Amino acid sequence: MIAILDYDAGNIKSVEKAMQLLGQEVRITRDKETILSADKVILPGVGAFGDAMGKIRQYGLDEVIHEVVHKGTPFLGICLGLQLMFERSDESPEVEGLGILKGEILRIPEGKGLKIPHMGWNSLKLQNNGRLFKKLPSEAYVYFVHSYYLKAADESIVTAVTEYGTQIHASVESGNVFACQFHPEKSSDVGIQILRNFISI
């Protein structure tokens, strides 16, 4: 069973549908025992960093997430879910993130004729043999919607980068922890393969 964490954030249903399409039993939940008994856990999300962390703490999910990660359950953060796994964000400078991984979330720089938020398809440059990207071409295209981006402290965990006004750390992997800034559930066949790869871990 795959647990999708419910903290009132957007985009949960599309992740659920993608996983069901791949034949998975899925539960959208904030129940601690259900989450801890799951084979895999996903933290999706669309919204503001500070609001999301407030909800996660309100529901006690911060402690549960740390417990899931500590016990070695495969854990996937998507979009805002990636950002929440790090220490801080320019979007809500006063709010601490989950701090599972080291790094910060920065605002995409203005200028160069680029629209913010960054919405649309960008190619990935794959590196460090990320397990999410097995059977994919080195320049796979995926779908992004974001105004803030990750700069990881340790580049050895970065498994994909893209360019949009700056270099964006688009995906990371550290032990049983995985995260994507883009939306695999909205990235057509490439995204489905990424989710299939996560299921197979």
Domain hosting residue 80, numbered range: 2-200
CA-to-CA distance for 46 and 131, rounded, in angstroms? 24
pLDDT, tens only, 10-22: 779 999 999 999 9
pLDDT for position 19: 96
Q: What is the domain count for the chain?
A: 1
Each residue's pLDDT tens digit, 32-44: 999 999 999 999 9
DSSP category for residue 142: E
Q: Rounded mean pLDDT of 179-186?
A: 97
- The pLDDT confidence band at residue 65, using thresholds 50, 70 and 90, is very high
Q: For position 183, which CATH number holds?
A: 3.40.50.880
Q: CA 177, CA 39: separation in Å to the nearest integer?
A: 13
Between CA 68 and CA 88 the distance in angstroms is 21
The tens digit of pLDDT for each residue in 45-62 reads 888 999 999 999 999 999
- Cα(18)–Cα(20) distance, integer angstroms: 5
DSSP label of 52: H
3-class DSSP assignment, residue 102: coil
Kindly state the tokens that stand for 3.
């647990």
Q: What is the pTM of this model?
A: 0.96
Please identify every residue annotated as catalytic: 79, 183, 185
Give the three-state DSSP class for 164.
coil
Taking the C-alpha atoms of residue 157 and residue 193, their distance in angstroms, rounded to an integer, is 20
